[in-house]
Amino acid sequence: MATDVVVPTLGESITEATLGQWLKKPGEAVKADEPIASLETDKVSVEVPAPTAGVIAELVVGEGDTVNVGAVIARIDAGATASTAATPAVEDRNAIGQAEAAAPAEPAAAPVEDAGDPVTLSPSVRRAVLEHGVDPSKIKGTGKDGRLTKDDVIAAAKTQPKPAAAAAAPAAAPVAAAAAPAGERREERVRMTRLRQTVASRLKEAQNTAAILTTFNDVDMTAVIEARNKYKDLFEKKHGVRLGFMGFFVKAACMALRDVPAVNASIEGDEIVYRDYVDVSVAVSAPNGLVVPVIRDAQDLSVAGIEKTIGDFGARAKAGTLKLEEMKGGTFTISNGGVFGSLMSTPIINPPQAGVLGLHRIEERPVVRDGQIVARPMMYLALSYDHRLIDGREAVTFLVAIKNAIEDPTRLLIDL
């Protein structure tokens, strides 16, 4: 008996999603509650579990299709086994459907499939595999259930021996020549993910609605680096998490937001909403891009509590298990572009928030201390804010408070 697999309830006000990736193929056996597909919503990827044990009989929609809550996306032969349920008709029909669905959007994926690779790859991972010329079957995935991510492919490409790559080039040459004649200019059209569409829409909304202005400062990271180097081993031993810089910045932001409450406020209609709590949104990397979970009541957390929360967010973002409610309701955002090498940027606020703090890379620069030119580890800070709500004086005061707390971390302990 066939059992329908339907799109589950995705959260308040979310009525549709995009089928991001099939995790199972027709003819494959599944267990009850085993993930069989990944849905992309406006904020996060959600896995669809099998409602019963059996064998995948049919995939009703293709990757990239938009589906509504409650819609049927697949059918399972309940109680069947892989050896008895998969018929040539089902397999052929699905193969044709998948080929038709994949051909317009993913023409470059054929070499990976022709090579006999049994690994199910998302479009972004396929592109990375082809771009870097690596064998996906030899890469250990770090995503959910061991699936490959784009970061896994890039890391494997960096460690791939160059001689081996050179030796493999002649064998691959005929395929490359057949697929792309010399001198041919290529283009590839890839449908935007729902997450990317939402990000684009919200960023443009912020620019159209808020009066965004950015103020800059720089901060000497010497004291924080010395404190981290001195206590990082004891910190990790006691708390089970690494001591990073974000804990210091979140604590400093909480203190500065208390002193300059307008940066933690928002505009609702013709009213300004001030808050006595701080819910800090922090950007973390996920396989499909950056996501922004929220540290609730950050003003009540210690540096260790903040680091534990961020570490948990990072692990679950990589595994794709963050919940929608964990990414709603932030009052202020901290974005660390420095981990990617950014020297300076003008971040865009996340409505209805009124401010976002941008952190950047640390590099030694010449500065003057006590009349002497010395080299110090410096970081540029950027605060983008909604000028409708926050005056320049308040913005500068807030950023200077962050700078003072980081350059003298004792302030975080004695609440100055």
**Residues that are catalytic:** 387, 391
Task: Please choose, from the candidates 245, 202, 193, 192, the residue with its C-alpha nearest in 3D space to the C-alpha of residue 348.
Answer: 202
Neighbours of 378 (CB within 10 A): 18
| 139-146, Cβ contacts within 8 angstroms, sequence gap of 24 or more | 142/318, 143/287, 143/318, 143/319, 143/320, 144/35, 144/47, 144/319, 144/320, 144/321, 145/23, 145/35
Answer yes or no: are the C-beta atoms of 241 and 304 closer than 8 Å: yes
Distances, alpha carbon 260 to alpha carbons 51, 249, 257, 379, 400, in Å: 51, 16, 5, 22, 11
The token pair that represents 160 in the structure block: 């791939």
User: Rounded to an integer, what distance in angstroms lies between the CA atom of residue 342 and that of residue 152?
Assistant: 22
| Residue among 70, 81, 73, 87 nearest 31 (CA) | 81
- Alpha carbon distance 258, 176 (integer Å): 60
Of the candidates 399, 368, 357, 364, the residue with the CA atom closest to the CA atom of residue 378? 364
Q: Which residues, other chains included, contact 43 with Cβ-Cβ below 8 Å and sequence gap of 6+? A: 195, 198, 291, 324, 327, 328
Best CA proximity match to 321, nearest among 109, 128, 143 = 143
Q: Token pair for residue 92?
A: 């052929």
Contact 218, 278 (CB under 8 A): no
The set of residues, in sequence order, having a beta carbon less than 8 Å from that of 283 and lying 6+ positions away, is 290, 291, 292, 333, 334, 335, 336
Report which secondary-structure segment, H or E, holds 127.
helix 123-132
